[in-house]
Structure 1
Amino acid sequence: METRELRYFVAVAEELHFGRAADRLGIAQPPLSRTIAQLEHRLGVALLVRTSRKVSLTDAGAVLLAEGRAILGAVAAAERRTKTVDRPSLVLAAKAGGSSELLAKLLDAYAAEPGAVAVDLLLCEAHTWRPLLDGRADVAILHEPFDSTEGLDTEPLHTESQYAILPASHPLAGEAQVRMADLPDLARWPEPDGSYLPGPGVEVHNLTQLFQMIALGRAAAVMPEVVRVGLLEGLAAVPVVDAPKVTTVIAWPPHSRSRAVADLVRVATGFS
């Protein structure tokens, strides 16, 4: 199996659409379809179920997607580390605007460790787990259940309640607590392919946009308690008693053999 074939298959499996996958890969759709068909023929199993309306994964396809992500991520990470062998470092992915206090403590504590290497931050607008799968990052700070940790090794750091973020002028802003059913339509975040699920609520793609829309009275959100720190003027945070708790985890690919990653994880779990 060639790396190119795996890359093509993973793109189709993630997009579940040959046209979008071809656009993502920068190739025409016919050679993409031929490559997937040839891969299925050589493996002797169907990887995808194709109909005129949709594409879905078979059980075998789901297995190859998980394995393919790990392989491609390992290859990309190996290339990146080889190119930077003379200046050892690791890449830490985190959500832009989130976990700032945790990141500051973690980076300071790790920098004091003997043998600490340089840490490059990769700040993501959404889907912070993806850089771990494609090799752009060595380790990430993720938030369950919002971020996918499937196929990753993780250690929990802390668990917190969720709060409704509302305009300070909203009738619910002065309440001691609220329930999910009490809240107005919540802002919607993009899916991994960049599309939005249908439904009410404004579409947002980063925290800056979200908070501005809330301040303008156009949106509401339910977010971990940590967002109360440094909450912008004009916004209010109210506990949501029936919202699921959020667990912040540090995550890394299971194939990682990096001493620097192991040290960073040890430091993170030591003070969390």
Structure 2
Amino acid sequence: MEDVETRELRYFVAVAEELHFGRAADRLGIAQPPLSRAIRRLEHRLGVELLERTSHGSRLTPAGEVLLAEGRTALDAVAAAARRAQRAGPKACLVLAMKPGGDAGLLPAILAAYEQSPDALPVEFAFSIGDRGAMLRDGRADVGLLHHPQNDLSGLATEELVVERRVVALAESHPLAACDELRMADLSAEEIPRFPEAARPGTGPLVGDVGELMQLVALGRAVALVSESAALRPHRGVVYRPVLDATPATLVVAWAESSRSREVAAFVTAARRAASEEASGTS
């Protein structure tokens, strides 16, 4: 059997997601007849039917469902490889994905340890509150600081750095701000913001950055469960209270499972060293 080309996969994924050849052709910027012929050729070469054509559109066959899932993964891997190759060029750098302030205070020590490695590269930052895992999976970033179980870590390799208790951020005027400590049951009626890649979605407004999150909290429109180290960063109108039975947040250093980069390995080693020294009080 001949190899499947990237272009063919891209065409098929578009049709499979749209389930309509006309809409898929518009999305791809090509005419519908050559798109239909390309899918027919792909089916002929694979020896399976991928789509059932109907008068109202199309639907995937079992073989089509498999190729859609695997095709998406393959296209993502190709895009990630291209991005990583570009960053390995003359102006090579290591891109670190992290939430602003989401380092439990370890970042200065991590960077200092990393700079001592012969494999170190200049570090560039990609700040995000809800897209860090996706950045690592699709090659926009090389290494990241994420939290377990709060973030989706699928497709990533990780090393635990530090476990933090959770606190809740509240408006100063919120009735619960009068309490010294809280339990999750106390927050059952509260609006908990949703984050784009959270492993456990909230019920409140979708937020994209820390400034937006804290503005909603200060206005009394939401409360937010955050890591204990967040309480060290004051925000006007916001107070923090411990939540005794909240699931802890484990800060992890994460990278793509397929990565074989010496620079990434050096950063992971530096992160482990910084966390170990912090835990032993020798930093």
TM-score bin, normalised by smaller chain: 0.7 to 0.9
Aligned-pair CA distance for 1:130: 1.3
Report the count of equivalent residues. 261
Aligned-pair CA distance for 1:268: 0.5
Could you tell me which of 119, 126, 130 is aligned with 1:122?
A: 126
1:189 maps to what in 2? 195
Gap regions ≥5 residues in structure 1: none
Q: Deviation per CA, 1:74-128, whole angstroms, max 9, x where unpaired?
A: 23312332xx2x3332111112343272223212221233442211111124221
1:38-117 aligned at under 5 Å gives the runs 42-43=45-46, 58=65, 61-81=68-88, 84=89, 86-99=90-103, 101-117=105-121
- Asked whether the equivalents of residues 45 and 60 of structure 1 are also in contact (C-alpha less than 8 Å), the reply is no
Provide closer, same or farther for how the CA distance between residues 76 and 113 of structure 1 changes in structure 2, counting only shifts above 3 A.
closer
Q: Deviation per CA, 1:128-151, whole angstroms, max 9, x where unpaired?
A: 111222222111111122322212
1:1-272 aligned at under 5 Å gives the runs 1-7=4-10, 27=29, 34=36, 42-43=45-46, 58=65, 61-81=68-88, 84=89, 86-99=90-103, 101-183=105-187, 184-190=190-196, 201-272=204-275
In structure 2, C-alpha distance between the alignment counterparts of 1:49 and 1:104, rounded to whole Å:
56
In structure 1, C-alpha distance between the alignment counterparts of 2:71 and 2:211, rounded to whole Å:
37
In structure 1, C-alpha distance between the alignment counterparts of 2:50 and 2:184, rounded to whole Å:
39
Provide closer, same or farther for how the CA distance between residues 30 and 218 of structure 1 changes in structure 2, counting only shifts above 3 A.
farther
Q: Deviation per CA, 1:14-59, whole angstroms, max 9, x where unpaired?
A: xx6669x969x7647958985677656644567799998x989945
- Larger CA Rg, structure 1 vs 2: 2
Residue identity (%): 40
- Asked whether the equivalents of residues 160 and 225 of structure 1 are also in contact (C-alpha less than 8 Å), the reply is yes
TM-score (structure 1 length as normaliser): 0.77
Gap regions ≥5 residues in structure 2: 276-283
In structure 2, C-alpha distance between the alignment counterparts of 1:214 and 1:6, rounded to whole Å:
44
Amino acid at match of 2:134: R
TM-score (structure 2 length as normaliser): 0.74
In structure 2, C-alpha distance between the alignment counterparts of 1:120 and 1:76, rounded to whole Å:
14
Aligned-residue RMSD, C-alpha: 3.8
In structure 1, C-alpha distance between the alignment counterparts of 2:99 and 2:232, rounded to whole Å:
16
Provide closer, same or farther for how the CA distance between residues 186 and 108 of structure 1 changes in structure 2, counting only shifts above 3 A.
same
